[in-house]
């Protein structure tokens, strides 16, 4: 519990070209997750040429009501921006690199500009709802608003856990508003994939990376995290051991079941290990996620594959859809859930029965013999 405030400072006048009335008060600031400190802060009341001293004293008294008479808990004086700084240093380091980067970005771009100058008790449910509606009016997609709200909710949950906030989380029961723009989450048709791979094969290593992502269903972070030691050339398998984030940091795969062996099939012959390469060396050490994504979208546009939502994850979605087409059954297929690295069957949209043998060959045949042309469709 915080201590009651009983401050009554004198009204002072600045020595500037245009003097202002102001007072100095002591407020609490959050030093870290377990400690606060008292800090002097100037509060400006108005310009001398606009209001007299008596009017400035009345404004002072109103300001002091907030400082002296608010509920005697530490949240009344802690600035939201100070809480966020503690959140960055004490909470974010425990998240996965990609999540940590996403949270930090959203705090800086969307949350601090709106709430940074407020004290915790001033961030109420009404202000949060108005903030969400303002994001909707600015054209942000519903998914973006949802994640931004989740980050803000997480900040208040941390504040509650650390003892700096009591009461109802202001982010609860907040309405997200309309649906906003809908991204196309469809899979590629075999003929579309064929055109895309034909164009990508002229630009390596984009071509082979796209093939690995399309025919194995690996997440792009898992593809970029592959090492030479992960390839079992004798059995044409590849073992997923780690993922490389968009920021180039390494972490475990996304889910506990993300560590898995996946059929590589004929693709193993295209992954030629350089002389002297160590097992721990990355297969594509110099490739950057954002640069690859841009190149893939550029090549897809040239291939006539252009829709909002297209990217490397489209290849993973296509893999699952094609597995479904090659052997759909009425029951969820655990082998597909395993190969996709999902934590449960509920996360996998499409299923197929059968063994792993020949999966890559069958997927390649679906593309390379899609009937678009009578010519050989092989991608070399």
What does the domain layout of the chain look like in residue ranges?
Answer: 12-74, 80-162, 190-368
Give dist(CA 109, CA 114) in Å, integer: 9
On the 0-12 / 13-18 / 19+ scale of CB atoms within 10 A, 162 is middle
> Considering the entire predicted model, what is its pTM?
0.58
Give dist(CA 58, CA 11) in Å, integer: 10
- Largest Cα separation within the chain, whole Å, is 91
Listed in sequence order, the DSSP H helices in the chain are 53-69, 80-90, 97-106, 112-115, 125-137, 142-162, 190-200, 206-216, 220-224, 289-302, 312-325, 334-340, 359-368
Give dist(CA 359, CA 264) in Å, integer: 9
pLDDT tens-digit profile of 287-299?
988 899 999 999 9
For the ranges 123-127, 160-164, 212-216, the lowest mean pLDDT is seen at: 160-164
Does the structure show a pLDDT above 60 at 4? Answer: no
Class of domain 190-368: mainly alpha
Percent of the chain whose pLDDT exceeds 70: 79
pLDDT tens-digit profile of 18-35?
999 999 887 666 655 555
pLDDT tens-digit profile of 234-284?
999 999 999 888 777 888 877 777 788 999 999 999 999 999 999 999 999
pLDDT of residue 111: 96
pLDDT tens-digit profile of 152-209?
999 999 988 887 776 788 998 888 876 655 677 788 999 999 999 999 999 999 999 9
Contact 129, 175 (CB under 8 A): yes
- The CATH number given to 80-162 is 1.10.150.130
């Amino acid at each position: 519990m915080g201590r009651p405030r009983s401050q009554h400072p004198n009204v002072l006048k600045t020595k500037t070209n245009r003097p202002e009335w102001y007072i100095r008060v002591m407020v609490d600031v959050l030093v870290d997750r377990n400690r606060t400190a008292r800090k002097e802060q100037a509060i400006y009341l108005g310009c001398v040429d606009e209001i007299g001293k008596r009017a400035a004293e009345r404004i002072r008294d109103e300001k002091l009501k907030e400082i002296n008479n608010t509920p005697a808990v530490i949240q009344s004086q802690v600035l939201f921006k100070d809480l966020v700084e503690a959140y960055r240093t004490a909470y974010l380091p425990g998240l996965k690199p990609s999540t940590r980067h996403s949270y930090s970005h959203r705090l800086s771009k969307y949350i601090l500009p709106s709430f940074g100058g407020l004290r915790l008790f001033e961030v109420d449910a009404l202000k949060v709802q108005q903030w969400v509606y303002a994001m909707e009016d600015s054209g942000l997609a519903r998914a973006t608003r949802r994640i931004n709200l989740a980050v803000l909710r997480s900040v208040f949950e941390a504040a509650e856990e650390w003892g700096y906030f009591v009461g109802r989380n202001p982010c609860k029961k907040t309405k997200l508003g309309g649906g906003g723009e809908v991204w196309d989450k469809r899979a590629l048709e075999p003929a579309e994939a064929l055109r895309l791979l034909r164009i990508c094969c002229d630009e390596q290593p984009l071509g082979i990376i796209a093939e690995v992502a399309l025919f194995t269903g690996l997440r792009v972070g898992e593809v970029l995290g592959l090492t030479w030691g992960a390839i079992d050339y004798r059995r044409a398998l590849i073992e997923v051991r780690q993922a490389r984030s968009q920021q180039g940091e390494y972490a475990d795969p996304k889910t506990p079941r993300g560590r898995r062996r996946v059929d590589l099939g004929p693709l193993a012959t295209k992954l030629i290990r350089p002389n002297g390469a160590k097992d721990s060396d990355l297969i594509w050490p110099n490739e950057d996620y954002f640069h690859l994504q841009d190149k893939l979208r550029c090549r897809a546009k040239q291939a006539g594959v252009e829709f909002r939502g297209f990217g490397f994850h489209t290849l993973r979605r296509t893999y699952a859809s094609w597995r479904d087409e090659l052997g759909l059954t009425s029951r969820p297929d655990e082998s597909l859930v395993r190969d996709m690295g999902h934590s449960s069957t509920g996360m996998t949209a499409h299923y197929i029965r059968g063994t792993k043998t020949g999966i890559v060959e069958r997927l390649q045949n679906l593309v390379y013999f899609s009937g678009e042309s009578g010519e050989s469709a092989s991608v070399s």
